[in-house]
Structure 1
Amino acid sequence: MRTRIPRQQAQWPRAQAARGADDDAGLGPELAAVVAGARRRVVRDGDRQIDTAHLLHSLLESDPEVRAAFGEGPTVARLLGYLVQRSIGYGLRWQGAVEDAGGLPAVEGAAGFSPLAAGCVERARERAARRGGGAVRGTDLLAALVADPQARAAEVLRRAGVDPRDLTGEADRSPAG
């Protein structure tokens, strides 16, 4: 029996792989792992690009500081449940679409960043630099993901009953912050 390989994986050009590695530069090992997890999800689900919701999903799964920003209670479980539903059904309305960022051009090829996600990664780098350098932390990326109300991550949060604006302050108060 043959294993089903997503179309995008078979078509993923080497140049896109190199571009993905360049985009991950300066993130540090923890955030590079978050991006790698989001990239695997994109390829597995047959999406075109890593969007902000993919990054949020990967952050919630792997970063205890990010989970702590959501406080005690069922919020993280509800968000993860919603994100899984998105990847197996709800997200189908987003497949083939690009998470828009104004007039920025789309990144071509499988597993590149959407324009908005690329901007969030850059803002997370800037936030880390303002903090005094060092690697970008998950809370830096979380703050960048929730800053734009048009981002899919913000939409996911709102649909799960979380106000994205409340998370910026929580990310700033993280234990390592």
Structure 2
Amino acid sequence: MQSRTPHQRAAGHDPLRVDIEARLSEELAAVVIGARRRALRDGDRQIDTAHLLHTLLESAPEVRAPFDSDSQVARLLGYLVQRSIGYGLRWQSSVEDSGAIPTVTEDGWSPVAVGALEVAYERALRRGDERAGAVDLLAAIVAEPESRAVEVLGRAGVDVAALLARIDAAAGQGIEA
């Protein structure tokens, strides 16, 4: 499966510096702030997709709906908590990367996380909304097979392809996705 998230950036071009947060719903902007805090608290050198997923699950109830069950969400949160207290220590010295030249953006974001935020915004635009929502970001994260969030989803027993299909099906029914 080829990634739908762009990874290579022009030198000196940081999409977050172009105020990507202005393109986010109020709720999603709060998720971004929470993910930034989580990365700092965990001692990570970058904000990655696992930080975003963790904060989404904790603060945006609508992102839990596409999962198989509450117990699956609880198991996933358990893995994310383990990561924040040590499971992710092997990641602290590395950068979330999909094979492009590993870099961290000037604002401390992994390239994959930046790409996911861009894809979330594009998804919102396709449905006629000017701001990306929480489910848009969940869909963007889940669609990126090389993301840390997808690795954690897999470890928690989540069928990522089925999850993405449920998100897309809900979007086709007019539900925010």
Normalised TM-score (structure 2): 0.82
Give the match's secondary structure for 1:25. helix
State the shift of 1:52 in Å.
0.6
1: CA distance between counterparts of 2:39 and 2:105?
14
Matched, 1:26 2:23: yes
Matched, 1:169 2:165: yes
Q: Contact 1:66/1:171 (CA < 8 Å) preserved in 2?
A: no
1:60 is matched with 57
**Match of residue 119, structure 1, among 115, 119, 123:** 115
**Cα RMSD (Å) of the superposition?**
1.8
Number of residue-to-residue matches in the alignment: 158
Q: Contact 1:148/1:154 (CA < 8 Å) preserved in 2?
A: yes
2: CA distance between counterparts of 1:107 and 1:25?
21
State the shift of 1:113 in Å.
1.4
Which of these two proteins has the greater Rg computed from alpha carbons? 1
State the identity as a percent. 61
2: CA distance between counterparts of 1:20 and 1:78?
35
Normalised TM-score (structure 1): 0.82
Matched, 1:137 2:137: no
1: CA distance between counterparts of 2:22 and 2:129?
14
Q: Which residues in structure 2 correspond to 1:13-162 (within 5 Å)?
A: 22-104=19-101, 106-108=103-105, 112-162=108-158
State the shift of 1:145 in Å.
0.3
Unaligned runs of 5+ in 1: 1-18
Q: Contact 1:104/1:115 (CA < 8 Å) preserved in 2?
A: no
1: CA distance between counterparts of 2:57 and 2:28?
12
Label 1:113 to 1:59 Cα distance change in 2 as closer, same or farther (>3 A).
same
State the shift of 1:134 in Å.
2.9
Label 1:42 to 1:159 Cα distance change in 2 as closer, same or farther (>3 A).
same
State the shift of 1:90 in Å.
0.6
Instruction: Give the 4+ runs in structure 1 shifted more than 2 A.
Output: 19-23, 101-105, 174-177
Label 1:20 to 1:112 Cα distance change in 2 as closer, same or farther (>3 A).
farther
